[in-house]
A and B are shown apart, each in its own frame.
Chain A
Amino acid sequence: MAEFLDYRFGEIAATNEVVRQRLADFRTTLDDFKTTYNRLAANWGGTAAEGAVQVSEQLDRFGLHTADIVQRFLTELNTHLEESQAVERTNTGLFTT
């Protein structure tokens, strides 16, 4: 365990926003990849087309799974931020009689 519990709510929220933006970028890049491979598959024929489709599908599965994990991370981080703020409010309130 770290020596200090050092919570800065603004920085946690900023991190959350940066990761959220990166996730949006990642989804866009993934869509671009899939579009490219699908276009190649449409232009090609035979096993080359099958390979392009296979890569597209593989990218899609991996991308969706990765995006789901990052989304879960964002959700957990945001939940932790809200809990931290609530705990801090309660803790400081405990000293008021």
Chain B
Amino acid sequence: MAGEAGSFRVHLQSLKEFAARLRDQVQLADRSTDAVQAINQAPSLSLGGFAEAYALSDRHGDAAQQLATVLATVVRSLDFARSVTELVAQRYEALNRGGAQAIGSVGAAIPPVPPLPGPPITGTAAPPAGSRLPPPAAGLTAATVPPAIGTVYYATGAGPRQT
């Protein structure tokens, strides 16, 4: 998150590749854990039959046990990071795909723009009662007989009007 309103910028492929690398690391750490456990389960070191040798062998076992514990923690941490990274990548991907589909489906419903007849409307118009032809001063052609096609203008006022 950055800024007041928030944002995120994610390179999805890199996120997936990072998750894959974490998965590889988990497998690698798992093999190391197996190796440490093998060392720990091996018979006591034959360092000799005296007190210092026994003590050293015990410390060797303790160290191996601690190493196994640390490695197990590392494996769990790596696996947690892997699962979170994969989940985050899946959620971003699903979010983006779902949003694109939902918003894109709206665009599919856009109708073609209908052809609108441009003004003036042509045809034979019946003048309202009381109307008369405009005077020549109005700059219109007086037509005593409506033409077969074209525009007929009528004025409803008593004199020329400004339009």
Contacts and interface: CB of A to CB of B under 8 A. Distances in A.
A19 B127 CA distance: 44
Interface residues of A, number: 44
A68 B156 CA distance: 39
Interface in B96-130: 96, 98-99, 102-103, 105-107, 109-111, 113-114, 116-117, 121-128
A17 to B, nearest CB: 12
Contacts of A92: 1
Interface string A7-24: 111100100000000000
A90 B101 CA distance: 22
A84 B96 CA distance: 9
A83 B9 CA distance: 15
A6 to B, nearest CB: 5
A4 B124 contact: no
Interface of A: 1, 3-10, 13, 40, 43-49, 51-52, 55, 58-59, 62, 65-66, 69, 72-73, 76-77, 79-80, 83-85, 87-88, 90-92, 94-95, 97
B87 interface: yes
B128 A91 contact: no
A97 B76 CA distance: 13
A87 B125 contact: no
6 contacts: A4-B10, A5-B9, A10-B3, A47-B125, A69-B109, A88-B6
A4 B12 CA distance: 7
Contacts of A47: 121, 123-125
A29 B98 CA distance: 34
